[in-house]
Structure 1
Amino acid sequence: MTDHPYYAPAGGLPPQTQLTTDRAVFTTSYAVLPRGTMTDIVTSNLPFWDLTRLWVIARPLSGFAETFSQYIVQVQPGGGSDRPEGDPTAEAVLFVVAGDGLLTVDGAGHDLRAGSYAFLPPGTTWTLRAGDEPLTFHWIRKAYEQVDGVEVPEAFVTHETDVAGVPMPDTDGAWQTQRFIDPTDVRHDMHVNIVTFEPGGAIPFPETHVMEHGLYVLEGKAVYLLNKDWVEVQEGDFMWLRAFCPQACYAGGPGRFRYLLYKDVNRHVGLRGYAR
């Protein structure tokens, strides 16, 4: 497997002549944020981050998706943070889609480029600085659910080209998943994977399960079933799925269809609301 381009938002503003009608939708079971919604006027800033802006594309909402937040962070050359995370209970995955930078984890430096992936458990000491080019990365955060007798997993940094795709059974490789964490490792309470469909590949049944999802399309286009609606999506779009929302897809373009997938895993269901 070789390096591949990933879609990264550039910001800006549409002209006054552009039609307002678009594919953006928020329902009780899912949301779609098309790439055109990620403009300059919806960016945010964070304390202790310099030369940095971000698009918040998911956050816990009562009655909707409740387990995670997801940012697309854009750091200008030389920018970044020496105090990136203010919540000691937060774990994170960083996935780089453009540019270069340096990530330090507990004092060890790691060069970042498009496709770099880092898992940062709660309490990790880390810093991040962009290099000579603007650095754009996804930052997925979750409050880690500690279990008595189960150790907190260690931090690691890798690259997607070092993680082999595992084909789904009986698909001849048309549907495969790059799993950065062993699915049987119950120390982890979230997975962030890359799912790839070759042209014509499909999820041939409506998946319906307890896991919430965030899906950012890295490459290609597809038609996605979300609850009762078939929605056309392309690279740069983000889908946010509530637990038990039926989902399926057909890869619909001339090239492959790939997305970054978040899901919550490996923990008992809370019986007094989500809070543990």
Structure 2
Amino acid sequence: MPAPDENPEGTAVFTTAYAVLPARTMRDIVTSYLPGWRDTRFWVIARPLTGFAETFAQYAVEVEPHGGSDAPEPDDQAQAVLFVTEGEMDLIIDGLSHTLTAGGYAYIPAGTTWQVLNPGHAPLKFHWIRKRWQPAAGIDRPDAFVTTEKAQPVRWMPGTDKWGTTRFVDPADLRHDCHVNIVTFLPGGQIPFAETHVMEHGLYVLQGTARYLLNKDWVEVGPGDFMWLRAFCPQACIATGDEPFRYLLYKDVNRHVGLSL
């Protein structure tokens, strides 16, 4: 907790188009403890909200040594993406064991049996993104896979070597109805126009600083800050500082738009 006399004014924002959850808001008093998990606490930083962003939930997870879960997901329609930021994870998917450290990434299809354990002596920290997989005619469910950030190249945008994306899934693979990527801006890199599109976004800052345009507002963001954008919210980015600006990005893709309200 901050000191009792600290100025409570901060930079957290919640609007009809976007939300910003600064790292300093993620205190002990806003954690959740969830059924089926041992010695684990969760910061729920995104959840479906009618009239806002409706497709996904995102948790920042901290697991104490020897903590974890033998049955982490209560919804058999929910797929998962896990991204490790600190510590060591033992991940078992359909009986196969994997070890993940910082930068480790796993995709787990809906209906899969999986378990998580922290085998180390320090806390395990990771992001868990949950989305109900949306079936489509002639489309099979994706396969589970485990990889690392370092095993994937940064694919730079046309005409620049300062703005690029680390993709863990082929964008043309229609089995996947969401992508969780890492976006990187080198110092001086920027999005040179205000993007606006149907995809919802969750953006968790992994490294560096930037000025980020959200709707009509420029906000200053840094490590541990989370931005949550509903569909069609204009956005742009200008990296600041002397190190890369990097964030974990969620977006929904590859499905028809539902026509019921």
Q: Tell me if TM exceeds 0.5.
A: yes
Are 1:156 and 2:145 counterparts?
yes
Q: Tell me which of 200, 212, 234 is aligned to 1:212.
A: 200
Deviation at 1:116, TM superposition (A): 0.4
CA distance in 2, matches of 1:209, 1:125: 34
Are 1:143 and 2:166 counterparts?
no
Segments of 4+ moved more than 3 angstroms: none
Written as runs of structure 1 = structure 2, the 5 A alignment for 1:112-131 is 112-131=100-119
SS of match in other structure, 2:24: helix
SS of match in other structure, 2:187: coil
Deviation at 1:17, TM superposition (A): 2.4
Deviation at 1:152, TM superposition (A): 0.4
Are 1:239 and 2:236 counterparts?
no
- Indicate the residue corresponding to 1:253 in structure 2: 241
Structure 1: gaps of 5 or more residues: 1-12
Q: TM-score, normalised by structure 1?
A: 0.93
Structure 2: gaps of 5 or more residues: none
Are 1:73 and 2:61 counterparts?
yes
Written as runs of structure 1 = structure 2, the 5 A alignment for 1:1-276 is 13-132=1-120, 133-171=122-160, 173-273=161-261
SS of match in other structure, 1:207: coil
User: Aligned residue pairs: how many?
Assistant: 260
Aligned amino acid, residue 164 of structure 1: P
Aligned amino acid, residue 54 of structure 2: E
CA distance in 1, matches of 2:89, 2:201: 28
Q: TM-score, normalised by structure 2?
A: 0.99
SS of match in other structure, 1:47: coil
- Indicate the residue corresponding to 1:9 in structure 2: none
Aligned amino acid, residue 103 of structure 1: L
SS of match in other structure, 1:20: coil
Aligned amino acid, residue 92 of structure 1: A
Identity %: 63
SS of match in other structure, 1:41: helix
